[in-house]
Amino acid sequence: MKVGVVGLGWMGRVHLRNYTEMAGVQVIGVVDVDSKAREEVATQFGVAAFATLEDLLEHELDAISVCVPTSLHHEAGLKIIEKKINLIIEKPLAATAAEGEELVRRAGDMGVALMVGHVERFNPAVARVKELVGDDVISIQIERVGPYPPRIQDVGVVKDLGSHDIDLIRHITGSEFKSVNAVMSTTLGKHEDSALITAQMENGALASISTNWVTPYKSRKILVACESKYIEANLITQEVKEYSAFSTYDKSYSVREWPLMFREPVKEELTRFLAALRNNTPVPIPGEDGLAVLRVFERIFSRQG
């Protein structure tokens, strides 16, 4: 498989490293406007580095990872799609739902596979939570907090961190958002850096997301209350605990710890993306899923101000 990477920030370099470690994958080239970044990766990984996307697109490619800032996803994505090259776009899919709709529509028209990089779905802890959850979900709570990341300049915490959890809530509950509300504040920069999001899903499940860039340490946790059990997951350590329903008879409950083999989610994500291309099967997270997240964003921000 001949692949390329557009954008050599932190996530772009993670994509690049994983591609170079895969058997049967050749990195044709990478793109970044920063000459220093190009020089660094050319030296470290021995790959061709280009200043423009157009230079990369002159080569034969099977797939491209789009890891540029969110505001550039639409422009870069359309150029790649017009060349009929399959692509994975880092979350969120685009800056607006209208841009996301155009990307999904054009990919469909051109017969191009478009995947969205909602990487947390490939975290083994998330996969186990999804396996354990039935159709009796009462509520799901997600905490995703940490320190301010200087690398993020074009969006706030809702679109950066919150996008993971809006997608995970849809994925885990198997339901769409019936109602959604948020309160948020801005302390450190020009975008919101703290947010509390609450929602009710179409299937009746309640959901909440606590996310911010004002916590001095990283925390990524999911708590799912079901009629039959309670599930606790730590996405950083990839640990999952399952609690039985509380017994009013003997005032007790049991706890089961689910052992997991630690895996790098990005590697799993890219492996499954390329496998879908090789086998001509649907990509794991299609553009429509990324578009659904963008539409939730619009509902959240339309209630602000």
For 286, phi then psi, to 5°, come to: -70, 165
Question: Please, what's the largest Cα pairwise distance for the chain?
Answer: 70
CA 282 remoteness from chain centre: 18
pTM given for the model: 0.93
Cα 192 to Cα 179: distance, rounded to the nearest angstrom: 21
pLDDT in tens, 14-26: 999 999 999 999 9
Name the average pLDDT for the chain: 95
Which domains are seen in the chain, by residue range?
2-118+267-285 (3.40.50.720), 124-262 (3.30.360.10)
Residue type, position 268, single letter: E
**Lowest mean pLDDT segment, chosen from 20-34, 91-105, 256-270:** 256-270
Q: Which residues contact 22 (CB under 8 A, 6 or more apart)?
A: 270, 271, 274
pLDDT at 132 exceeding the cut of 70: yes
Strands 177-185 and 2-6: unpaired
| pLDDT band for position 305 (cuts 50, 70, 90) | very low
pLDDT at 245 exceeding the cut of 90: no
Cα 175 to Cα 138: distance, rounded to the nearest angstrom: 13
Cα 282 to Cα 269: distance, rounded to the nearest angstrom: 14
> What is the predicted pLDDT for the residue at 249?
74
- Sign of the Cα pseudo-torsion (161, 163, 166, 170, in order): negative
pLDDT in tens, 33-43: 999 999 999 99
Q: Which two tokens stand for residue 228?
A: 């039959």
pLDDT in tens, 168-219: 999 999 999 999 999 999 998 788 999 999 999 999 999 999 999 999 999 9
Question: What is the mean pLDDT of the segment spanning 34-58?
Answer: 96
Do 121 and 168 contact (CB within 8 A), yes or no? yes
For 130-166, the DSSP string reads: HHH--S-EEEEEEEEE----TT--SS-HHHHTHHHHH
Q: Which two tokens stand for residue 219?
A: 């925390």
Do 177 and 165 contact (CB within 8 A), yes or no? no
Question: What is the mean pLDDT of the segment spanning 123-141?
Answer: 96
